[in-house]
């Protein structure tokens, strides 16, 4: 009977992951259920999406800083963790609805 061996790059705790040697590669897997397109398209989309998100985040931060300044952050702060949780759950629901 074959025994399952854990993935050597999976660490059971953040402390173990921080103590591990630095990784040199990142792997991306993308699957087309209908097998009509090659999987390498996902890597290209990630390469395009990442700088676009940085540009949009930077533009929004610059507009907020220039228009309303930093005082709005002191007065109108909201829970960013809750916002991200709602955004991720919403994206998951939309993804499942389209599948």
Q: What is the pLDDT of residues 39-70, one digit of tens each?
A: 666 777 778 889 999 999 999 889 888 888 77
pLDDT tens string 15-44: 888 888 887 877 666 666 676 766 666 777
Residue 4, domain member (yes or no) = no
The DSSP element (H or E) to which 37 belongs, if any, is none
CA end-to-end distance (rounded Å), the chain? 37
Range of the domain at 90: 14-98
pTM value is 0.41
pLDDT at 38: 63
Query: C-alpha 2: how far from its chain's center?
Result: 35
Q: Which of 31, 29, 12 is nearest to 20 (CA)?
A: 12
Query: C-alpha 71: how far from its chain's center?
Result: 29
In eight-state DSSP terms, residue 12 is: S
Tokens of 45: 């989309």
Residue 9, domain member (yes or no) = no
Residue 49, domain member (yes or no) = yes
């Amino acid at each position: 009977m074959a025994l399952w061996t854990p993935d050597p790059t999976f660490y059971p705790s953040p402390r173990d992951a921080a103590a591990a040697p630095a990784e040199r590669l990142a792997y991306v897997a993308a699957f087309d259920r209908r097998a009509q397109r090659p999987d390498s398209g996902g890597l290209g989309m990630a390469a395009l999406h990442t700088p676009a998100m940085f540009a949009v985040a930077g533009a929004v931060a610059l507009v907020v800083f220039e228009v309303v300044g930093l005082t709005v952050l002191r007065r109108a702060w909201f829970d960013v963790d809750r916002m991200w949780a709602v955004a991720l759950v919403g994206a998951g629901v939309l993804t499942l609805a389209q599948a």
